[in-house]
Amino acid sequence: MSSSGWNTLESDAGVFTELIESFGVKSVQVEELLSLDPYSLASLQPLYGLIFLFKYTQSAFAPTENGVPRDGEFDVEAEHNMFFAQQKIQNACATQAILSILLNRSELELGPTLTGFKRFVSEFDPDLRGDTISNSQVIRETHNSFSRPTPFIDETKPQREATDDDDLYHFIAYVPVNGKLYELDGLQPHAISHGQCTDEQFPELVIDVLQRRIARYPEGEVRFNLLAVCKDRREVFRDMGDYESVEREEFKRAEWRRENILRRENFVGLIYNVLKGVIGNVVANGGKQAFERAIEDAKVKSRMRQEEAQRRKFMSYVP
């Protein structure tokens, strides 16, 4: 599986919300959840589905030797009545998880791009649907428009085979479709059914599935992220007459727009000139020892920022 021009996306509610809007979908947003709590999920109704980010290990999540999933069961027949696509591009899993939810919720106003795509692939099998996503210029360009610039990556260098020791992360979708709870993972051969499920039962039942999945990881593993795809909260609060909450949501949207603008920028030139000035100042005022102390201080501060960012990004699981 290659990247073939698809960049990685950050697991961020603001990124995913604006990505969905860029496809032309109306009245949908993404909310990050910080706990495995059915009540938190239920508070986001109307809830369309969940996107789950986790560290991928082939040994833990590949089908068993008998060819069955480790939880739930493959539902081959359901693929004729729902959207499921196999993943053909390594970095496409975030957008593919989003599409797995949007294209399975008939009540959503998808807009011309996804409506036409859904109609075009309706008679395809999951393998061909995956190829169609990979070859869709519109979907790929929209996806890449939300990725961080990577000026130092050599695209000509062949990718090595990934191992369980690598920090590889994967997005999948959970969505209630046709009265069942489905796990839609493009790296699996088929959609996985977790039994009967209504929209009202979804928050409680999906948490049970997620808890079983997380329990298969070593104790202490907390690198998970859960994103809820729900109705635009501004519309929900406006219908309730809660205009204070509407104002908070508008402020949050403004922050998302600002952050997404910064994500698209390439700051290499700026960073180079800042470092050049800082190093010149340090050397002029203290020589080599002062420069080395400044480097060590910068490493400590950088590590502290990374640890703090990780605490904010990954939710903790408490059994």
Domain ranges of the chain: 13-231, 267-319
Whole-angstrom distance, CA of residue 228 vs CA of residue 223: 17
pLDDT at 62: 65
Q: Is the pLDDT of residue 272 over 60?
A: no
Q: What pLDDT shows up at residue 70?
A: 85
Residue 104 has pLDDT above 60, yes or no: yes
Asked if 170 is an active-site residue, the reply is yes
Q: Which residues contact 70 (CB under 8 A, 6 or more apart)?
A: 60, 61, 63, 64, 216
309 exposed, middle or buried (CB, 10 Å; 0-12, 13-18, 19+)? exposed
Catalytic residue among 170, 190, 197, 230: 170
pLDDT-derived band of residue 4, with 50, 70 and 90 as boundaries? Answer: low
Higher pLDDT, 41 or 271: 41
Tens digits of residue pLDDT in 282-319? 666 666 676 677 778 878 888 887 777 666 555 444 43
Mean pLDDT of 207-213: 93
Residue 194 annotated as catalytic: no
Rounded CA separation 200/188 (Å) = 27
Class of domain 13-231: alpha beta
Q: pLDDT exceeding 90 applies to what percent of the chain? A: 55
pLDDT tens per residue across span 13-43: 999 999 999 999 999 999 999 888 889 899 9
Beginning with the edge strand found earlier in the chain, give each strand of the sheet holding 28-33 in spatial order: 28-33, 224-231, 47-55, 169-177, 180-184, 192-196, 73-74
Residue type, 173: A
Nearest to 99 by CA among 90, 86, 46, 168: 86
Mean pLDDT of the chain: 84
Mean pLDDT is lowest, of 1-15, 127-141, 180-194, for 1-15
> Whole-structure pTM over 0.85, yes or no?
no
